A and B are shown apart, each in its own frame.
Chain A
Amino acid sequence: MSPALRLNDRTFEREVLSSEVPVLVEFGASWCLACKAMESVLDEVAGELSGTAKIARINVDQNPGWAGKFRISGVPTLMVFSSADIVVRKVGAMSKKQIRELIELALDSG
């Protein structure tokens, strides 16, 4: 099973904005209990959707560039990108089912 991608400010553009498949990005932090709680479900969804969508995480403290550009002011913030467009943006913990529903918005529209 391939776990969720770990992004940084240098890889964000290539992995997310230039991606050929939809990408769900979780903006999180080391001190965020909800982000830690979601790690395993993000990894699971990444494995299940391998090839059709990407699941990724980025730590906002280590990578303030893109977090700043998207004006992330609370974590976890989940954003789904498709062809560099933002399909949906939500703040707060999510279950596996809810994460799948978010990414499926992009898969359905694509």
Chain B
Amino acid sequence: MTSAGQSADKHNASCTCWNCPAVDLTGKVDFRACGQTREVFQSGEEDSGEAYILAECKRRPEIGLFDPMSVTFEDCPEWQMGPYGHMLKDMRVMILGLDGYLGWTLALWLGRQGCRVSGVDNFARRDWVRERGAHTIVPISRMTDRLRAARDVLGLNIEFRQMDILNQRTLLREFIEEVKPEAIVHYAECPSAPFSMIDLEHATMVQQNNVLGTLGVLFMMRDLVPETCLVKLGTMGEYGTPLTGRPLFEGVFPADAVLTWGDREWSLGGEMTPRDPVSFYHVSKVQDTFNVYEACKYWWLRSYDVMQGVIYGVETPEVSAAPQLRTRLDMDEWFGTVINRFVAQAVVGFPLTMYGSGEQVRGFISLPDAMQCMTRLIMHPPEPGQYDVVNQMSGYYSIRQLAETVARISSREFKIPVTIQRVENPRVEADVHPFEPVYDKLADRFGFESQVSLEDTIYSMLELLTQDHVKARIEEKKHLILPRTWWSGVKKQVETLEVLEEIRYEPSITA
């Protein structure tokens, strides 16, 4: 158990075999749902030693059975101090969705940290982007070339299998059985709100892929690796932006959140907070949240549900090490996240387009910071049956602030004049709203410290995106930047979008 204020590398020092995925729990393991009557006093065996849960180390079976609380990570020779706390030696981590923007980046990142990385992908993301006529503006290699470069440049052997986790469950089951992963990172979902809003076919595909894909993974984990933590990617968008202005807690209410009704009051502690998704994609993520939560409750699975802020950035030490190791970067209306898209727009002189007022506020996190968070979560596994939620973001900004920041750095540092426009908002969302996210847990309990600033990340993106070969790829697809997917279902030509306002930045004389 850790608490606030512990140093960043000590966050998991006092975790015990109770948390460890390399331990089988045996003895009196009493799988039951929360609140059901305990068996122990009915059977009258409360004084018997057999009533206790015991640990058996899968890595060191010669130790025999022992009290799972008796050995801490700090004391265990299998857990060695690393840059992100104690790290399980050669930890087997399986990444579902290994070919994606995050999946590939994390595979290399964890590999460099000493993990044995395996993973699967069906290359759906490449297909979806191609279907829209778009492409990644930073060129990426085929998987065979990626894997070869990982081996040749970084010395990493990544065990990859091509498969669809929804439609090829037998293959996934066999792979999990073979690898016996000690953590599973689940990135194998379609991550686009606009893509899910195109039409019925796309909404159906996104919800089936995400919800039913995840459901299959949960059943497989129950049967094959119940001690393994599922680190599941959700989104801050699951919460929406409630107009009550209440804080966006980390998934569940704290005990001091109190409901007052009449002259009575109740602690809401431990109740899931309301979700207010803002697209059919976000609905799929909310459904996932409840499926994962239920699986932990019914089967003692362990999971961190990661409510990630809007991601941005393109550099980590590993993906920048060679052109074949680059991760994708999308700027089209379906797969381009806002900061990535703004930077691409700036580079080719395309006005930065804010939807609606531009006053919408969102949480954000950079690519390397997200990788750090994921590593810390993997190395600090939950307890048996523990479902926990983290809000994974390092700051929050209005869209206008972001546009202005990108414009300022582009014009002053790169001598690119940038225009900002407001265009009609194709989404159904509050343009102006309160926003009070709570995002303390990763820092307080897992030792997360942001390593890169928004400004520095935008600067490094501009350095890459202004290179001729990338700039040419942005130019080629810039007709796919303006939104054409309307939540209302209305079919409107891009040309009819109204330009509401312009702010023009010029390169400063001293720049």
Contacts and interface: CB of A to CB of B under 8 A. Distances in A.
B35 A65 contact: no
A64 B386 contact: no
Given A62-B52, A64-B52, 16 more contacts: A30-B382, A30-B384, A34-B255, A34-B269, A36-B388, A38-B270, A41-B256, A64-B46, A67-B40, A68-B40, A68-B41, A69-B46, A73-B38, A74-B35, A92-B267, A94-B267
Given A29-B385, A40-B254, A64-B51, A34 B270 contact: yes
A12 B113 CA distance: 41
30 contacts: A29-B385, A30-B382, A30-B384, A31-B383, A32-B34, A34-B271, A36-B252, A36-B270, A37-B255, A38-B269, A40-B255, A41-B254, A61-B30, A62-B53, A62-B68, A64-B28, A64-B38, A64-B46, A65-B46, A65-B47, A68-B40, A69-B46, A72-B38, A73-B36, A74-B34, A93-B270, A94-B269, A95-B267, A96-B255, A98-B267
Say which size band chain B's interface belongs to.
35 or more
Interface in A35-79: 35-38, 40-41, 43, 60-62, 64-65, 67-69, 71-75
Contacts of A73: 35-38
B253 to A, nearest CB: 7
B494 interface: no
Contacts of B256: 41, 95-96
A40 B440 CA distance: 13
Nearest 7 pairs between A and B by C-beta?
Answer: A31-B385, A34-B270, A68-B46, A30-B383, A37-B269, A93-B269, A33-B270
A45 to B, nearest CB: 11
B8 interface: no
A43 B3 contact: yes
A68 B24 CA distance: 24
Interface in B27-68: 28, 30, 34-38, 40-41, 46-47, 51-53, 68
Interface of B: 1, 3, 18, 28, 30, 34-38, 40-41, 46-47, 51-53, 68-69, 252-258, 265-272, 296-297, 300, 382-388
A95 B264 CA distance: 13
Contact of B300 (A8, A31, A38, A94): A31
Q: Is the interface of B mostly helix, strand, loop or mixed?
A: loop
Nearest to A33: B270
Nearest to B258: A95
Contacts of A94: 255, 267, 269
B256 to A, nearest CB: 5
Nearest to B268: A93
A14 to B, nearest CB: 17
Nearest to A35: B270
A104 B87 CA distance: 44
A38 B68 CA distance: 23
Given A31-B34, A31-B296, A62 B40 contact: no
Contacts of A29: 34, 385
Interface of A: 3, 6, 8, 29-38, 40-41, 43, 60-62, 64-65, 67-69, 71-75, 92-98
A79 B389 CA distance: 28
A86 to B, nearest CB: 16
B386 A62 contact: no
Nearest to A73: B37
A29 B133 CA distance: 51
A6 B1 contact: yes
Contacts of A98: 267
A60 B38 contact: yes
Contacts of A40: 254-255
B255 A38 contact: yes
A36 B41 CA distance: 24
Given A61-B30, A96-B255, A36 B51 contact: no
Contacts of A34: 255, 269-271
B23 to A, nearest CB: 13
A31 B297 contact: yes
A36 B38 contact: no
Contacts of B384: 30-31, 61
Nearest to A91: B35
Given A3-B3, A68-B41, A33 B255 contact: no
A73 to B, nearest CB: 4
A33 B258 contact: no
Contacts of B297: 31
B362 to A, nearest CB: 26
Contacts of A62: 18, 52-53, 68-69
Contacts of B268: 93
A30 B18 CA distance: 10
Nearest to B297: A31
A32 B269 CA distance: 10
Contacts of B40: 64, 67-68
B308 to A, nearest CB: 21
A41 B330 CA distance: 44
Contacts of B1: 6
B489 to A, nearest CB: 38
Given A73-B37, A94-B255, A31 B270 contact: no
A56 to B, nearest CB: 14
